[in-house]
Amino acid sequence: MPPAFKTSEGQVVHQSPGQQWLWYQFRDFINWISAATADEPYGLVLMGDLIEGIHHGSAEVVSAQLEDHISMACDVLGPMADEAAQTFVLLGTESHTRNCENAIARAIGAKCCPVSGGAWRDLNLTVNGTDCFFTHHAGTSSRVYLSASRLSIHLGNMQLERIRARHSFIPTVMVAGHCHRMDVYTDSRGLCMTTPSWQLLTRYGHKVVSTAVPHVGGAVLHFDHAGEPPRVETFRRDWPTPEGVKL
């Protein structure tokens, strides 16, 4: 949420301490992108779930109006899209967004999917001869030490399904969101990664992953060599240790 957001009812909502921390990290991330890309042209992929929506009975939102959620997303993401040479928006989880990404994609000038007229359910993208697959959903695991296995399984399953279907587009790179975690797996011929979210733990999150330490961030993929998996540069910031109580 940007600072001092005015809702559709005219109420001005200010950031909580957690939202202030998120905004500070986000502004740092924007500056990091400029440095990581050396101000060269780049493509931007927004991985879905661009709004929180109203779900699981949550009362932890600043407005019950999806219109306000969409306005906030456009205020935050519009300048990012303006800086990119091309922007793509993925659809997220319908219970969060009600497919509002379609409207957001059009509002920020993203390259629209010819089927939906807005966001992409899945995106096949070839960059410097390397075939890539971007999707929102990927399986999650509460066992952090098994993250490499999980990512290698996602990559292998995606490739094998396409081979068996005799598809001509067999990506060597897979990028997914949804997991709220930054993880990267590479082997000699492929790469799979999941991206973090820009969200702290909600009460629902505390219930399903109570021990998780939330982190925010993103990544730049450098396709330096034609036809080869990219070099990955990551930005990650972890929620600081909360203050304890001394007796």
pLDDT above 80 (res 188): no
Across all residues in the chain, what is the average pLDDT? Answer: 90
Q: Same domain, yes or no, for 54 and 146?
A: no
Q: Return the DSSP state at 118.
A: S
What pLDDT does residue 100 have? 92
What pLDDT does residue 67 have? 92
Q: Same domain, yes or no, for 194 and 93?
A: no
Q: Is residue 20 part of a domain?
A: yes
Q: Same domain, yes or no, for 128 and 169?
A: yes
Q: Same domain, yes or no, for 219 and 201?
A: yes
Backbone angles phi, psi at 208, to 5 degrees: -90, -25
Q: Same domain, yes or no, for 90 and 128?
A: no
Q: Same domain, yes or no, for 26 and 115?
A: yes
Structure token pair of residue 167 = 């598809």
Domain end: 89, 120, 151, which one? Answer: 120
For residue 217, the cross-strand partners are 236
Higher pLDDT, 61 or 125: 125
125-141 core/surface letters (b: 16 or more CB in 10 A; e: else): beeeebebbbbbbbeee
152-168 confidence digits (pLDDT tens): 888 899 999 999 999 99
pLDDT above 80 (res 63): yes
Q: Is residue 244 part of a domain?
A: no
Residues 104-118 have a mean pLDDT of 95
- For a pLDDT cut of 70, what percent of the chain falls above it? 94
Long-range contact pairs involving 7-12 (C-beta distance under 8 Å, separation at least 24): 7/62, 7/63, 7/65, 7/68, 8/63, 8/65, 8/67, 8/68, 8/71, 9/65
Q: Is-contact 194 187, C-beta < 8 A?
A: no
Q: Same domain, yes or no, for 3 and 113?
A: yes
14-62 confidence digits (pLDDT tens): 999 999 999 999 999 999 999 999 989 999 999 999 998 877 666 778 8
Rounded CA-CA distance 88/41 in Å is 15
51: domain range? 1-120
Q: Same domain, yes or no, for 1 and 114?
A: yes
pLDDT above 60 (res 142): no
Q: Same domain, yes or no, for 208 and 139?
A: yes
What pLDDT does residue 33 have? 97
Helix (H, G, I), strand (E, B) or coil at 244: coil
Q: Same domain, yes or no, for 95 and 10?
A: yes
pLDDT above 90 (res 181): no
Q: Is residue 247 part of a domain?
A: no
pLDDT above 90 (res 205): no
Domain end: 60, 88, 120, which one? Answer: 120
What pLDDT does residue 178 have? 83
Q: Which of 63-72, 207-216, 224-233 has the highest mean pLDDT?
A: 224-233
72-99 confidence digits (pLDDT tens): 999 999 999 999 999 999 998 887 788 8
Q: Same domain, yes or no, for 106 and 134?
A: no
Domain count along the chain: 2
Residues 118-138 have a mean pLDDT of 94
Domain end: 90, 105, 120, which one? Answer: 120
Q: Is residue 214 part of a domain?
A: yes
Q: Is residue 246 part of a domain?
A: no
Read off the pTM.
0.89
Q: Is residue 10 part of a domain?
A: yes
Structure token pair of residue 173 = 């790179």
Q: Is residue 233 part of a domain?
A: yes
Structure token pair of residue 23 = 């905004």
Q: Is residue 201 part of a domain?
A: yes
Q: Same domain, yes or no, for 95 and 14?
A: yes
